[in-house]
Amino acid sequence: MGAKRIGRKEVYKGKIFTIVQDEILFDDGSVAQWDLVVHNGASAVVPITENKEVILVKQYRNAKDGYVLEIPAGKLEKGEDPLECAKRELEEEIGFKAGRMTKICSMFTAVGFSDERLHLYMAEQLQVGKQNLDEDEYIEVVTYPITKAVEMIFKGEICDSKTIAGLLAVENLLRYSK
């Protein structure tokens, strides 16, 4: 069983992503048109303090039309190393640098319609740096014990997918690294 892309047409080009319409040829000879959001990718970081607290950002998100709790994250610049992006976002968004960064995984954020790949890290041995928000970023930095943050997932208080994946992964890593 196989399929391959035989054509691509750009439909929209924006600041953050591009939308294309692909033609896909299947083994039986049929052709389908699929829409795809093309994105440079992103990095996200779960910052953990020595007291096993996670530092999150609370910010307005248009998709929810409300405030969302998230781990620090940002999009990759063209050709940027994902680890360098993670370090940059950690300091820009919450004002910390990490003595140790551990790669958790890379994952597609919405593989059904986007090629965005998110690189997920855990940051430990935090040291104070300098917060430097983008011009259009209005965030509040909040801290929760990792166990409380995970409870908040199941209460619907944390609804962002990268944050959910990151918190569950880090809680698991911390539990089994004792």
Among residues 23, 77, 135, 171, the one annotated as catalytic is 135
Q: What is the pLDDT of residues 65-74, one digit of tens each?
A: 999 999 999 9
Domain coordinates of the chain in residue numbers?
A: 3-38, 42-176
- Cα 167 from Cα 164, distance rounded (Å): 5
CA atoms 14, 17, 18, 19: torsion sign:
negative
- The pLDDT score that the predictor gives to residue 135 is 76
Q: Indicate the average pLDDT of the chain.
A: 94
Look up 135 and say whether it is catalytic: yes
> What CATH superfamily classification does 42-176 receive?
Nucleoside Triphosphate Pyrophosphohydrolase (3.90.79.10)
Q: What is the pLDDT of residues 133-159, one digit of tens each?
A: 777 778 899 999 999 999 999 999 999
Could you tell me which residues come within 8 angstroms of residue 136 by beta carbon, excluding any fewer than 6 positions away?
Answer: none
Q: What is the pLDDT of residues 80-135, one digit of tens each?
A: 999 999 999 999 999 999 999 999 999 999 999 999 999 999 999 999 888 877 77
